[in-house]
Structure 1
Amino acid sequence: MPISRVTKVYAIKDAKISPLTADPAGGTATYGTAIDVPGIKSLEISGDVETKQLRGDNTLLASNSTISNIQVAVTHAKLSLDVLAAILGGEVTDSGTTPAQKSVWDLTGDGATLPPFKIEGVTPAGGVDLVGGDLHVVLHKVSLAGFPDLGFAEEDYRIASFTANAEPLLANDKWVSIVLNETAAAIA
């Protein structure tokens, strides 16, 4: 007997992004190494539906609706230079020796590529109705919809965030997958 398809969704424990390295039509999408989104606070999905109506004879004759946009909004507590490079482009370089080590993310005109990436978030074990189970949300191909919220805040922590628009993979036409696991599984 299959597990229930209905569950509560409580909290977010982890999120990772993976650069999309290939998306061949009718083939298999491939991704680079997963990068942790540190201090994940929320991953919210929204979308737009466009409806067209056919009217005639002073009445509604037909109506069709299509998904015109799926968007994800992500907030996270810690800034990651590797995440910035994966979602905006640019390059991270490390230099120096202790006590003068540095990591620098540089974004240049040529390096600001806004590359596509996958994002996956997961609840903690027990964040669903299945004891010991979890729920994963995967957006298979997204690109930034605007520049990330970065910077500083007076006498407070600065929370980083970004929004991205999803599109279907050429490989298999997938936009979003929601996976309910009977046994909790780490993000691959």
Structure 2
Amino acid sequence: MPLQRFTRVYGIQDAKIAPLTADPASGTPTYGALIDVPGIKSFEVSGDIEVKTLRGDNGKLATNATISNIQVQVTHAKVSLDVLAAIVGGTVTDSGTTPAQKTAWDLTKDTATFPPFKLEGVTPANGVDLIGGDYHTVLHKLTLSSFPDLGFAEEDFRIASFTADADPLLSNGKWISAVINETAVAIS
């Protein structure tokens, strides 16, 4: 018997991004290594629908609707230089020796490329109706739509966030996938 096609969704345990390295129109998309979004707090997907109404004979004759945008808003508790490089561009470099090591993300006008990336989030095991199962949401091709929220907060933790817009993959047309697993699986 197949799994039920509905579930409650409780919590988010993990989220990872992967740079989209190829999306051939007649092939298979390929992605770079997974990068953890540290301290994931929320992963909210929304969309816009454009509706056209045909009127005539003094009345409504037809309605047509199309998706005009799918967007994701992500908040996370820790800043990751690797995530910044993957979604904005720039380079991350490590230098020095203990006790003076440092790692730096540098963005220049030439390296601010806003490369496409995949984002996947998952509930904890048992975060769904199925005991031991989980729920994944995958956005297959995203591009940052506003600069990430960074900075500091007086006498408080600063929460990082970013917003990205989805495009369908050229290779298979996928925008978003929602998957219910009977047994929890790691992001891949």
Name the TM-score class by shorter chain.
over 0.9
Shift of 1:26: 2.2
Gaps of 5+ in 1: none
Cα distance in 1 for residues equivalent to 2:6 and 2:81: 37
SS of aligned partner of 1:146: strand
Structure 1 equivalent of residue 97 of structure 2? 97
Which position in structure 1 is the counterpart of 2:54? 54
Figure out how many residues of one structure are paired with residues of the other and give that number: 188
TM-score, normalised on structure 1?
A: 0.99
CA offset digits 1:46-89 (Å, max 9, x no partner): 00000001111111111100000000000000000000000000
For residues 57 and 81 of structure 1, the distance between their equivalents in structure 2, rounded to whole angstroms, comes to 60
- 2:153 matches 1:153: yes
Unaligned runs of 5+ in 2: none
| Matched letter for residue 9 of structure 1 | V
- RMSD between aligned alpha carbons? 0.4
CA shift digits 1:3-61 (9 cap, x unpaired):
11111000000000000000000210000000000000000000000000111111111
Q: TM-score w.r.t. structure 2 length?
A: 0.99
Which deviations, in whole Å up to 9, do the C-alpha atoms of 1:130-163 show, x marking residues without a partner?
A: 0000000000000001000000000000000000
User: For the residues of structure 2 that align with 1:43 and 1:171, how far apart are their CA atoms?
Assistant: 25
Question: Corresponding residue for 1:15?
Answer: 15
Query: What is the aligned-residue identity percentage?
Result: 74
- Taking the aligned partners of 1:179 and 1:55, their CA distance within structure 2 comes to 39
Local SS of the residue matching 2:83 = helix
TM-fit CA distance, 1:187: 0.4
Q: Deviation above 6 Å: which 4+ runs of structure 1?
A: none
